[in-house]
């Protein structure tokens, strides 16, 4: 299977171009295998770049555990770069179909390759039932959440996929690696949840560490960074325009007062391409039929 390895601020995925390739086996089976950093290619998950009836291309994204997510912000910037750089659509404005609808993307290019990408991430979903979370009230802002006898304040936002934002003094390993997976799987989140631990540096600057649903700690999360921008405004801690320092790089976020959309700007990089050899014990589509 031919693939391309790309990352956005260190959030790295294995990309397969289904304009040219066909998958040998179901993507939820392939994602854990290709994501494995020792036995596979290595990545936070698998992203499919596909033809679309309604946009320039379509993205489907699978976490390292094989579960599918509706959206991926860093992934969508990379899909946009791939679509542009590889001539699928040589336009500096693209429409891309995702599980969170058709999103508009603007590319900064040198005419050959895209350097930075801005995604209109759409409007945040604040309705508790739609996020989904069992916290009764909407919006869910700094609600008490008890984990292992410790109290946290949860602010919940969906950017098509669910996020729980926790403002902390210090986003250390104890919180991210210890508490993160417990929040991901807490009963308050029936579809599990992505978790962002946020240190506020100033009203327009934060530092983020991320525990992702289905993938564990990642170096960055674009939908998470967007949810943080919204959560910070709702909690009265942040302005609408922020810089978010993630472990793998910076993202710029803006939650527009005019159209209620969140705009995310950041880098996208292609690292290498290759051919992956499918392990012999993986049932192929041809054998499943």
Ligand X SMILES: N[C@H](CCC[C@H](N)C(=O)O)C(=O)O
Closest CA to 180 of 205, 147, 157, 142: 147
> Which segment (79-87, 199-207, 210-218, 278-286) binds ligand X by CB under 6 A?
210-218
Contact (CB, 8 A) for 283 and 269: no
Contact (CB, 8 A) for 85 and 112: yes
Q: Does 73 help bind ligand X (rule: CB under 6 A)?
A: yes
Residue 2 and residue 23: Cα distance in Å, rounded?
9
Residue 149 and residue 145: Cα distance in Å, rounded?
10
In 3-state terms, what secondary structure has residue 62? strand
The pairing of beta strand 269-275 with beta strand 114-120: unpaired
Cβ distance to ligand X smaller for residue 69 or 155: 69
With CB under 6 A as the contact rule, the residue among 29, 60, 143, 213 that binds ligand X is: 213
Q: Does 223 help bind ligand X (rule: CB under 6 A)?
A: yes
Q: Is 244 annotated as a binding residue?
A: no
The pairing of beta strand 216-218 with beta strand 205-212: antiparallel
Write the binding mask 7 to 26 for ligand X: x where contact by CB under 6 A, - elsewhere: ----x---------------
> Which segment (34-42, 66-74, 123-131, 233-241) binds ligand X by CB under 6 A?
66-74
Q: Is 58 annotated as a binding residue?
A: no
Closest CA to 220 of 206, 201, 236: 206
Q: Does 74 help bind ligand X (rule: CB under 6 A)?
A: yes
Count of residues that interact with ligand X, criterion CB under 6 A: 18
Contact (CB, 8 A) for 118 and 53: no
Contact (CB, 8 A) for 194 and 162: yes
Active site residue 72: yes
Q: Does 72 help bind ligand X (rule: CB under 6 A)?
A: yes
Residue 242 and residue 254: Cα distance in Å, rounded?
6
Cβ distance to ligand X smaller for residue 99 or 203: 99
Write the binding mask 176 to 205 for ligand X: x where contact by CB under 6 A, - elsewhere: ------------------x-----------
- CB of 181: closest distance to ligand X in angstroms? 12
Q: Is 133 annotated as a binding residue?
A: no
- CB of 288: closest distance to ligand X in angstroms? 25
Query: What distances in angstroms separate CA 237 from CA 94, 120, 230, one per listed residue?
Result: 33, 23, 10
- CB of 210: closest distance to ligand X in angstroms? 7
Of the residues 78, 164, 221, 229, which is catalytic? 221
Q: Is 63 annotated as a binding residue?
A: yes
What is the binding site for ligand X (CB under 6 A)?
Answer: 11, 63, 69, 72-75, 161, 194, 212-215, 218, 221-224
Active site amino acids: 72, 221
């Amino acid at each position: 299977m031919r693939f391309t390895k790309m990352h956005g601020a260190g959030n790295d995925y294995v990309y397969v171009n289904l304009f040219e390739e066909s998958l040998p086996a179901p993507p939820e089976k392939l994602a854990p295998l290709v994501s494995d950093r020792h036995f596979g290619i290595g990545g936070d998950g698998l992203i499919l770049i596909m033809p679309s009836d309604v946009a320039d291309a379509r993205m489907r994204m699978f976490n390292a555990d094989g579960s599918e997510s509706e959206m991926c912000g860093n992934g969508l910037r990379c899909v946009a770069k791939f679509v542009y750089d590889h001539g699928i659509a040589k336009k500096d404005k693209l429409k891309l179909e995702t599980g969170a609808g058709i999103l508009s993307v603007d590319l900064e290019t040198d005419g050959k390759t895209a350097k930075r990408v801005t995604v209109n991430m759409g409007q945040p979903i604040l309705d508790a039932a739609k996020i989904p979370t069992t916290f009764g009230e909407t919006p869910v802002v700094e609600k008490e959440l008890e984990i292992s006898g410790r109290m946290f304040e949860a602010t919940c936002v969906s950017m098509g996929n669910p996020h729980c934002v926790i403002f902390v003094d210090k986003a250390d390993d104890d919180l991210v690696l210890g508490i993160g997976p417990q929040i991901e799987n807490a009963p308050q989140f029936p579809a599990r949840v992505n978790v962002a631990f946020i240190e506020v540096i100033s009203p327009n600057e934060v530092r983020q560490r991320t525990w992702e649903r289905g993938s564990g700690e990642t170096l960055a999360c674009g939908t998470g960074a967007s949810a943080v921008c919204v959560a910070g405004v709702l909690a009265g801690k942040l302005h609408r325009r922020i810089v978010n320092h993630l472990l793998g790089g910076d993202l710029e976020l803006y939650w527009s007062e005019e159209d209620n959309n969140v705009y995310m700007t950041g880098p996208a990089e292609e690292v290498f391409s290759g051919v992956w050899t499918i392990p012999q014990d993986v049932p192929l589509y041809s054998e499943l039929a």
